[in-house]
């Protein structure tokens, strides 16, 4: 409770409340320092093997936590004209999408640069297909894959003269 009061006081004293709140969020989640370099400690082969096992276990473990119902998800939407059906993803499709990515060193919430993801896509394509297809099949999408960084892009004028986008509702 003391920590909460300290955070509340810090926000109240702040001139820029939005920036202060984000600073607190970053401190709590341990995201205080960003680096565009991707350094993986240890032996690369061991890391890739452990990461592969983690990815292969993620969706099945989530499925076990979900209560089982006897209705197959494909049977529910059969007569719904306005429904959206997503076909299983194929490795060829993922490889093609990866080829279309820009060769940038920018990164998303996971701090993995696009250039690194593009170079390693052939190694992780099977695992990605497995996760994506199980997500579609069972209707469970891993929480960490729902996160994104949204940055405003200035198209016209001086960015210093533009008011920042603030979500107030």
The rounded distance, in Å, linking the Cα atoms of 99 and 54 is 25
Are both 29 and 103 inside the same structural domain? Answer: no
> In terms of pTM, does the model score above 0.85?
no
Are both 88 and 148 inside the same structural domain? Answer: yes
Structure tokens at 12: 């109240």
- Single out the residue of 19, 21, 18, 26 nearest to residue 8, CA to CA: 21
Give a yes or no: residue 138 inside a domain. yes
Q: What are phi and psi of 109, to 5 degrees?
A: -60, -30
86-145 pLDDT, tens per residue? 889 999 999 999 889 888 777 777 788 888 888 888 999 999 999 899 988 888 888 877
What percentage of the chain carries pLDDT values higher than 70? 70
User: Around 146, how many Cα atoms within 13 Å sit in the side-chain half-sphere?
Assistant: 5
Are both 48 and 116 inside the same structural domain? Answer: yes
Structural domain harbouring 98: 38-70+80-152
Query: CA–CA distance from 115 to each of 3, 37, 98, 107, 108 (Å)?
Result: 39, 11, 10, 9, 12
The rounded distance, in Å, linking the Cα atoms of 103 and 43 is 26
Into how many domains does the chain fold?
Answer: 2
């Amino acid at each position: 409770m003391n920590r909460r009061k300290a955070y509340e006081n810090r926000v109240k004293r702040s001139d820029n409340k939005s920036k202060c709140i984000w600073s607190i969020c970053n401190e709590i989640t341990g995201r205080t320092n960003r680096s565009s370099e991707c350094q993986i400690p240890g032996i690369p082969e061991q890391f890739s093997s452990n990461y592969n096992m983690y990815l292969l276990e993620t969706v099945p473990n989530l499925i076990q936590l979900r209560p089982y119902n006897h209705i197959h998800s494909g049977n529910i939407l059969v007569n719904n004209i306005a429904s959206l059906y997503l076909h299983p993803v194929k490795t060829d499709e993922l490889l093609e999408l990866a080829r279309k990515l820009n060769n940038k060193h920018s990164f998303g919430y996971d701090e993995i640069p696009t250039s690194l993801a593009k170079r390693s896509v052939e190694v992780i394509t099977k695992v990605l297909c497995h996760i994506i297809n199980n997500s579609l099949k069972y209707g469970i999408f891993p929480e960490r894959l729902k996160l994104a960084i949204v940055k405003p892009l200035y198209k016209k004028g001086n960015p210093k003269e533009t008011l920042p986008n603030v979500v107030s509702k």
